[in-house]
Structure 1
């Protein structure tokens, strides 16, 4: 039996679970760092007298950086390794959060939010690939569902921390907290995050054999005397060629369009909902509460997806989540003025959209081989971020033009339905190429 196939068909070891746990913790910090801008927005906009259009650009700045990171940083993981790119990305995130604390005007804060987003974007798709490669075949959907919960968990923690921090120390305090947490996770990642076996056996860097054997020892498996030969089915093509040529190209385009439409709706709700509810009610604390409830719903959605993925196909679950999310957005537009009902719908809305994101994270990696997996995921998420950038800015212009929040939520049912159509049009995931066959027996 081939090495990678044998590992994937076995139960996950403590080492694999620890690798997933570190990735989950990093995604949690990402959720905290990205969400603090939405929680700080009501206080910040008053302190700096920021108009809705400028605030829209502030809320989109992190998304722009995330798009750039997904496009330009994540593909490097297919060349330098999943671990090394994670460390580079976390360094960028920590620097961006520290600089945000000391920003003096909206222009500076926009620049520092772009920098923070650059690191977050470079890391998120890369970690998704690492988790997918360390998960067993039978648990992959469930594991990625749990991993995807890290982002809303981090955003929820940000919501709980934002109210007392802002009330007692001002809006800069939430950025300071994010900077401290990011620095801590950078150290933990350096100590505990392993490299991907798929990367080592596919790219075969100079020290691949020693690093592979070190990982195999932690997995309780015998060492290798030589790195296995590359599979014949892999071929010499690069990542970009695999992603953008047949038969993968049509799958790629559907993933891009579907994920882009989903995250446009997701980030509209997660960036503007606290501000909209604070403006409607005149209560900043309610705005933060709404954002927190949405992220709590997202946590439930990820764990629900994880549980259901053990019995149903991830693609089917994704179709159901997108259909129900479109209904939830339309419903929220009708009940947003009724606080109690609105909070219940917000929880459902967060649950469904985050479950759908977990669905894309589960479906997409199997489309690509290890040679192109990080690039494929990075470009999918990058395209999604590019589309999502327009959502907060567009809403800023719509609100300035007199649009009611109810109409805006109804408008965003359209991209959710478009995402649904893209998923329905997807073919079954392409089969994984055969893992490499060892050219020498394992060492005794």
Structure 2
């Protein structure tokens, strides 16, 4: 009987999992996840989400006769060991684009060849596989989103992979103990796992996706899908989600999935996206100001919409998409602090933090990346008045300002001195530039 090992990485689901479906062509299948100590504790929030997702995946696999085999150690050594223990002839896995993932694939290919085991790489982390769409004039990938979006929209998508009806494990293989689920740092994070993802998806498709185009920037309305953590860990298929959006004519939402694919193809060409600027000429003159950085991290800049976003990040391990833009622009364009400080802080807290999207969006905002207008600036007060006109979002996350009515919450420094003193809320930070103009705008 032929045996295949499917090494699961960021595809923690049964539905539309091409690597799992390919492994199921064998009579015996070993779904394997290897906990790499090198990646442990990078983010307590993501560790919690991952461990919840693994527990859910094990339960779902057991319902169809299988199990999740868990090992801890070097992913290459552990995968080869399991493959040899079970006499596997094939290892399947999802292709990925980060520097870590590419090195893992290369090492696994070398070891698989040495042990005469076939290694198959499959799509599944994006709608359209990175590298399959290339500019007509040459080059490895698109640097500007709009032409990529046109090519992406015209591309035929693969068919969804069938969910396995039954999985048969080799006999005598120890499943391994699931890791304990830590508390995480954020008290109000969403629950990990494919089951939770599909419940949230069902609600979103039934109640939210139709109005996404008009409402996704509405900060107090919170009308985004909140599915990004599930996409990051592969608890949901991005292809299945894009197909669902297409079926409902939700073009604005599908376009966001294309943005996600865009940064994956960027990261494929620029694996050092988290540390090296795509526009080196714009990556200079950053200001070292540890106190200002700390105030930004703590949500104590004195600019309410910025502080609300940063406090939502800590509280939920997630941040509204418009708040991400405002807070990132404030750090880089107003405080003049290096975008890499923002990348690392978001990586620590975000459940959906990954190299392509976290780093790509930070570089876009900082003007060092794929933005065709790298010198744009965002006025945080105007942004707040436009997308949180009555201050509902700010008051939700900045309790010091709950007593201020309406839009006045966005500029508390304009209140009478007696009212300001009673707020216990800081005045706006001063950067190395004179920012009095944008504060008065």
| The two structures share one fold, judged by TM-score above 0.5 | no
Richer in helix (by share): 1
How would you bin the TM-score normalised by the shorter chain? under 0.3
Quick check: which has more Rg, 1 or 2? 2
Richer in strand (by share): 2
